[in-house]
């Protein structure tokens, strides 16, 4: 009987041209590209092993440290697997690392936390080299007010007000362990870590915090938004381009 081997991958990608990480009925996903790249390793080149990702990034969302796992039966050394995958993948998807994982490792089910970064470009003129990786919103914002609002979101809360409408999950309670608002020349950066995220949660948080910064709502209102358990109580969903999955914790 052929031994099963589990590989852990760290993947980076520019999500601009993809429907997201997960396979969809139409459009190209990052998951699909990786599975195609793995197919030639097997006895049947037409068959591809299933690749599981730690997070289901949406269309247009990027990743620096997406983690994936795959069960294989070949014995090619991990560095050679990495080289072969990158040869077969398009240049906007790169496998940063491949390593053997303990038997049974699953990128999604064994993850204990994730970190995301959201970038808001505030300069009047946006560099053409940044346009796919930021939300260009050159509106004056009170960063201190945004930081004040952010403190109300740290901790264990029901984040139903920040979940995309029409979504379903067994629980909307999540624990945010870090939420920082950084100000850099020409941009505001939102960094967030939590034990898990709801669909569009980070983008809804970013849109709401940006609204606070622009004076559209009070920082203190974020507590009321949490208690409302209603997506309509929060601010707009910020564009996908500004969001990057930075890393996954195990």
Three-class secondary structure of residue 139 per DSSP: coil
Asked if residues 181 and 190 have their Cβ atoms less than 8 Å apart, the reply is yes
58 is catalytic: yes
- Side-chain-side CA neighbours of 130 within 13 Å: the count stands at 15
Report CA-CA distances (Å) from 91 to 17, 95, 130, 163.
Answer: 12, 10, 17, 32
DSSP for 52-119, written as a single string = EESS-PBTT-EEEEEEEEEEE-----HHHHHHHHHHHS-TTEEEEEEEE--TT--TTTT--EEEEEEE
Phi then psi dihedrals of residue 231, to 5 deg: -55, -30
Q: And the tokens for 46?
A: 């037409």
Q: Name residue 135's beta-bridge partners.
A: 120
- Which candidate in 58, 92, 224, 230 is catalytic? 58
Q: Is 132 helix (H, G, I), strand (E, B) or coil?
A: coil
Q: Using CA atoms, how far apart are residues 188 and 112, in angstroms rounded to an integer?
A: 27
The catalytic residues are 58
């Amino acid at each position: 009987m052929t031994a099963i081997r589990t590989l852990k991958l760290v993947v980076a990608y520019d999500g601009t041209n993809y429907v997201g990480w997960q396979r969809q009925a139409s459009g190209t996903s990052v998951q699909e590209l990786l599975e195609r790249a793995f197919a030639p390793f097997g006895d049947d080149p037409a068959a591809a092993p299933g690749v599981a990702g730690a997070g289901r990034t949406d269309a247009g969302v990027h990743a620096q440290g997406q983690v994936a796992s795959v069960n294989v039966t070949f014995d090619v050394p991990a560095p050679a697997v990495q080289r072969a995958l990158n040869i077969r993948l398009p240049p906007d998807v790169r496998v940063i690392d491949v390593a053997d994982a303990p038997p049974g490792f699953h990128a999604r089910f064994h993850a204990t936390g994730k970190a995301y970064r959201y970038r808001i470009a505030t300069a009047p003129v946006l560099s053409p080299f940044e346009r796919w990786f930021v939300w260009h919103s050159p509106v004056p914002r009170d960063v201190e007010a945004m930081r004040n609002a952010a403190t109300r979101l740290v901790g264990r809360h029901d984040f139903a007000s920040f979940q995309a409408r029409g979504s379903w999950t067994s629980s909307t309670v999540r624990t945010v362990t870090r939420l920082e608002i950084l100000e850099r020349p020409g941009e505001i950066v939102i960094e967030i870590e939590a034990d898990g995220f709801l669909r569009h949660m980070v983008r809804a948080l970013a849109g709401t915090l940006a609204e606070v910064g622009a004076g559209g709502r009070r920082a203190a209102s974020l507590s009321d938004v949490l208690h409302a358990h209603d997506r309509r109580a929060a601010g707009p969903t910020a564009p996908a381009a500004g969001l990057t999955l930075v890393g996954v914790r195990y």
